[in-house]
């Protein structure tokens, strides 16, 4: 008897290859021999087992899922990316009671002052650190723009829980808007800082990477990182609002000994000018392939303000005042697109590299006017030069 799906017995019905056949002629076997147990009938192809079919199907699904995950991760499609997730850097040091511990009055470090910024993850590095971004509404400049930040892994090391970290404000060349190219990991600035610190060459800098200009320079217009009359106050943005954002969200160094700039091309000019104009706030700068004097077309008709943002005149004034000391590390390639870059830097150093204006020049043989030339060469002198005179981490 056989059984139907509802469990009722049914009359036996022979089916398939073993159903009864007409009796064969005399001398022939009545039925073909039975195949071995588990084998298909004679003359029929071997059928894969059910287990084997499931294995093949499962492997195919996993392979497709893997490909889909790679594609979604590449195009940063959730849930295969943490881009856009909230990131917080201002973890307070707490005592046994769980309350935040205030540093002593004579401490060299400054706890995050707040308010806490709305940082979103832009990318996660292999060591687990994050490049995060926020939109900063500059209270002093009135300019609103993006700032990317990064802290080395040591920042979350319990050994440094009570320590303030040095800060480097990294400024790009080119348009400097709507992005700051230092925020990308392709140039390796973040991983280089970590590597140089491990090698004893560099301080473990927090990086702040703001937009340099208030708009694209596609028409040849740029702002020299300065407060040009009747224009967005980009000088105030870079030297007041951006440092205030970092102080609000990170453990930092109170004094200027923990604050530096670095930049390339027009970002190198802005870095040079920021330190010379505000030596009470910033101590050092790495200037790669920089302009030496302001040359934006927007200065037309504003000679007085232009002179107030001229590094040559600022350096002379600092020398005349006999301080405070600043440290300027220049690096220039021998294949710069502007052939006057190296002579202009050498001329500046010869004229103003004295007294409180300390300078060093690294000439990069075969080096071109680009960040891929400048970053690796920073580790061959410039980063050591400024790190030796800066503080941090400090308690």
CA terminus-to-terminus distance, the chain: 88
Residue 332: DSSP 8-state: E
Q: 243, 289, 294: which is closest to 382 by C-alpha?
A: 289
* Residue range 217-234, pLDDT digits in tens: 767 788 999 999 999 999
CB within 8 A of 363, min separation 6: which ones? 331, 332, 333, 334, 342
Query: Lowest-pLDDT range, 67-76, 111-120, 134-143, 254-263?
Result: 67-76
Residue 31 confidence (pLDDT): 47
What local confidence, expressed as pLDDT, does residue 248 receive?
A: 97
Q: Say if residue 83's pLDDT is above 80.
A: yes
pLDDT tens digit string along 96-120? 455 556 778 889 999 999 999 999 9
Q: How many CB atoms lie within 10 A of CB 202?
A: 24
In this prediction, residue 75 has a pLDDT band, given cuts at 50, 70 and 90, of very low
Alpha-carbon separation of residue 246 from 140, 163, 242, 317 (angstroms): 15, 15, 7, 29
Determine the 3-state secondary structure of 96 from DSSP: coil
> 359 preceded by cis ω (within 30°)?
no
Q: What average pLDDT does range 15-25 have in this prediction?
A: 43
pLDDT score for 185: 86
**Considering the domain 86-387 in this protein, what is its CATH number?**
3.40.50.1820
Residue 69 is predicted with a pLDDT of 44
Q: Please tell me the distance from the alpha carbon of residue 22 to that of residue 20, in angstroms, as a whole number.
A: 7
Q: Are 267 and 369 in contact (CB under 8 A)?
A: no
**How high is the mean pLDDT of the chain?**
86
The predicted structure's pLDDT at residue 23: 44
The token pair that represents 259 in the structure block: 């604050």
pLDDT digits (tens, 9 = 90+) for 85-94: 999 886 665 5
pLDDT at 13 over 80: no
What's the pLDDT at 119? 98
pLDDT at residue 220 in the model: 77
The structure tokens 């996993």 sit at 62
Query: What is the sign of the dihedral through the CA atoms of 115, 155, 285 and 338?
Result: negative
Asked whether 359 and 353 are in contact (CB, 8 A), the reply is yes
For 168-185, the pLDDT digits (tens) are 999 999 889 999 999 998
288 membership: H or E segment, kind and range: strand 284-288
pLDDT digits (tens, 9 = 90+) for 341-354: 999 999 999 999 99
pTM strictly above 0.85: no
Of 61-70, 111-120, 143-152, the range with the lowest mean pLDDT is: 61-70
* pLDDT tens digits along 272-307: 999 999 999 999 999 999 999 999 999 999 999 999
**Reported confidence tier of residue 66, pLDDT bands at 50, 70, 90:** low
**pLDDT tens digit string along 298-315?**
999 999 999 999 999 999
Answer whether residue 210 shows pLDDT above 90: yes
């Amino acid at each position: 008897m056989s059984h139907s799906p509802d469990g009722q017995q049914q009359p036996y019905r022979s089916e398939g290859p073993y159903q009864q056949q007409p009796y064969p002629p005399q001398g022939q076997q009545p039925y073909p021999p039975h195949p071995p147990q588990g084998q298909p009938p004679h003359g029929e192809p071997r059928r894969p087992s059910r287990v084997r079919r499931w294995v093949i199907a499962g492997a195919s699904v996993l392979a497709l899922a893997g490909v889909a995950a790679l594609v979604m991760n590449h195009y940063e499609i959730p849930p295969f990316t943490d881009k856009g997730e909230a990131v917080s850097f201002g973890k307070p040091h707490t005592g046994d009671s769980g309350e935040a511990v205030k540093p002593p009055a004579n401490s060299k470090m400054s706890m995050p002052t707040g308010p806490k910024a709305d940082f979103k993850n832009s990318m996660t590095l292999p060591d687990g650190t994050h490049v995060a971004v926020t939109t900063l509404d500059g209270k002093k400049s009135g300019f609103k723009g993006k700032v990317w930040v990064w802290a080395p892994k040591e920042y979350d090391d319990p050994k440094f829980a009570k320590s303030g970290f040095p800060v480097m404000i990294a400024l790009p060349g080119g348009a400097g808007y709507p992005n700051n190219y230092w925020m990308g990991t392709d140039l390796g600035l973040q991983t280089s800082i970590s590597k140089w610190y491990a090698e004893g060459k560099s301080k473990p800098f927090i990086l702040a990477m703001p937009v340099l200009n208030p708009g694209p320079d596609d028409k040849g217009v740029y702002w020299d990182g300065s407060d040009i009359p009747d224009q967005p106050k980009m000088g105030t943005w870079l030297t007041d609002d951006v440092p205030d954002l970092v102080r609000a969200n990170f453990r930092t160094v109170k004094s200027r000994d923990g604050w530096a700039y670095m930049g390339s091309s027009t970002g190198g000019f802005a870095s040079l000018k920021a330190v010379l104009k505000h030596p009470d706030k910033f101590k050092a700068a790495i200037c790669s392939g920089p302009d030496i004097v302001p040359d934006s077309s927007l200065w037309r008709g504003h000679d007085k303000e232009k002179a107030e943002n001229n590094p040559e005149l600022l350096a002379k004034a600092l020398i005349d005042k006999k301080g405070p000391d600043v440290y300027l590390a220049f690096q220039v390639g021998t294949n710069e697109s502007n052939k006057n870059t190296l002579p202009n830097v050498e001329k500046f150093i010869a004229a103003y590299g004295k007294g409180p204006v300390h300078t060093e020049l690294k000439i990069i043989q075969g080096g071109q006017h680009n960040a891929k030339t400048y970053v690796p060469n920073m580790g061959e002198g410039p980063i050591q030069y400024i790190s030796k005179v800066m503080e941090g981490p400090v308690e």
